[in-house]
Amino acid sequence: MKTKKLHTQVAIIGGGPAGLLLSQILMRQNIETIIIEAQSREYVLKRIRAGVLEHGSVELLKNAGVGERIITDGIKHDGFLISSENKSFRIDLSAATGKSVYVYGQTEITIDLYKAQDKMKATIFHCVKDVNISDLNSNKSKVQFNCSKENYEITCDYIAGCDGSMGISKNYIPKKIKKSHIINYPFSWLGILSNTKPVNDELIYASHERGFALASMRNENLSRYYIQTPHTDKIEHWPDELFWEELCIRLPKPYCRTLERGKSIEKSVTKLRSLILEPMQWKNLFLAGDAAHIMPPTGAKGLNLAFSDIFYLSQGFISYYKKGSSTKLNNYSKVALKRVWKTVGFSKWMTSILHNSNENSLIERNLNKLELAELKKSEKAQKLVAEQYVGVAY
């Protein structure tokens, strides 16, 4: 079978939000890209994930020409609630930092990015198979793949691996220099999506002796709820009625009384872990997003951290192609990892302080309660949390 030859400046592996945003930013600077994605466009658009955008993510999307609907259709949040022992207090993001976050689902972001990319006539291959990377240590690198029973080969200057934790890009970082830092948490999250009015107009992070719970939303009529469960629990162990009862127990009582229940339209179990892979680059290959780091959904940092990677990486490419300087590209991993470590650290702290499990000793549980009580009283501590929640500056 004859191989079709393609040429571009930056080949992007992964057509999710990170890969699409990188292409969008680069194409607006007249830098050529080609995106390849293992799944169909329909599959990508059905993925329902993170829905809270940091201040910096919103600004980045606006600057890329895809922020209009975030402002018009997204929900601006100036704070969130934390509860402990059925008593809640509010972290005022706006008062502490002068910034806010927006609730705007990943699906909507992906829709916006696809529309923008289509308008710019971006080259995007879907349902690709047998992806292979070669010649990373040469002037020109190559990406080979199969799509619709046709073989293709992209010759490019650089490759951006935005293909997630299950992707192939990270496997091309040599084992002798690759380090993986992993924490496996002793619990999972059971989440449901329902066509119900959110129980509160801001997120509620609830610490309870029976386990953590989160009340979130996608819009004014679409709610997203989570409860902490053991690893051994399966979706079939949790019919809707049982889930609502358990959620009601863990949320502060005033919210339990107003909780609107309904049939779940999506249900999932997620095992929690933190992972940082370093370095995030080798020769002509650069990793971004879940390909390089994973963390629990606590604090909604995953997508936001992917976008900060894209900011640093796009700046590196723009500096190289527009100014002829490789400095930012050469320093990409070092600079991006500084923010990665800070963000993963915040996610770990928030996860640890809000969850209970059989593996927690009594002293750990009491220390968590004490720390939450101190956080409730301390304006200085709340300011530190707020600064991390809205996102540290790029």
Which one, of 286, 277, 383, lies nearest residue 340 by Cα? 277
Burial of 74 (C-beta count, 10 Å sphere; 0-12/13-18/19+): buried
The model's confidence at residue 154, banded by pLDDT at 50, 70 and 90, is very high
Note the pLDDT of residue 359: 66
What mean pLDDT is predicted for residues 131-135?
98
Active-site annotation holds for 186: no
Tokens, residue 109? 């972001």
- Burial pattern 164-194, b for ≥16 Cβ within 10 A else e, equals beebebbebbeeeeeeeeeeebebbbbbbbb
Rounded to whole angstroms, the maximal C-alpha distance in the chain is 69
What mean pLDDT is predicted for residues 161-186?
96
Going through 279-338 in order, the beta strands assigned E by DSSP cover: 281-282, 285-287, 293-294
Give the mean pLDDT of the chain: 95
The model's confidence at residue 132, banded by pLDDT at 50, 70 and 90, is very high
Active-site annotation holds for 389: yes
The Cα-based distances of 363 to 20, 108, 276, 356, 375 in angstroms read: 46, 43, 29, 12, 18
Task: Tell me: pLDDT of 267 over 70.
Answer: yes
**pLDDT tens for each residue of 206-244:** 999 999 999 999 888 889 999 999 999 999 999 999 999
Note the pLDDT of residue 50: 64
Reported as type and span, the H/E element at residue 10 is strand 10-13
Lowest mean pLDDT among 103-107, 129-133, 290-294: 103-107
Task: Tell me: pLDDT of 83 over 90.
Answer: yes
Residue-range domains of the chain with CATH: 3-78+100-181+273-349 (3.50.50.60)
Task: Tell me: pLDDT of 246 over 80.
Answer: yes
What mean pLDDT is predicted for residues 259-270?
93
Tokens, residue 168? 């192939």
Tokens, residue 354? 């809000």
**pLDDT tens for each residue of 278-337:** 999 999 999 999 999 999 989 889 999 999 999 999 999 999 999 999 999 999 999 999
As a whole number of angstroms, the distance between CA 250 and CA 256 comes to 9
Q: Which of 114, 158, 172, 205 is catalytic?
A: 205
Q: Which of 208, 301, 328, 355 is catalytic?
A: 301
Note the pLDDT of residue 51: 81
Reported as type and span, the H/E element at residue 300 is none
Q: Which of 102, 297, 320, 321 is catalytic?
A: 297
- What is the dihedral sign for C-alpha 227, 100, 217, 307? negative
Note the pLDDT of residue 48: 67
Note the pLDDT of residue 86: 81
The model's confidence at residue 153, banded by pLDDT at 50, 70 and 90, is very high
Active-site annotation holds for 77: yes
Q: Which of 104, 152, 226, 389 is catalytic?
A: 389
As a whole number of angstroms, the distance between CA 302 and CA 381 comes to 23
Residue 270 and residue 298 in contact, taking contact as beta carbons nearer than 8 Å: no
Instruction: Give the residue carrying structure tokens 């992209």.
Output: 154
Q: Which of 77, 99, 170, 355 is catalytic?
A: 77
As a whole number of angstroms, the distance between CA 198 and CA 221 comes to 7
Note the pLDDT of residue 371: 93
Burial of 250 (C-beta count, 10 Å sphere; 0-12/13-18/19+): buried
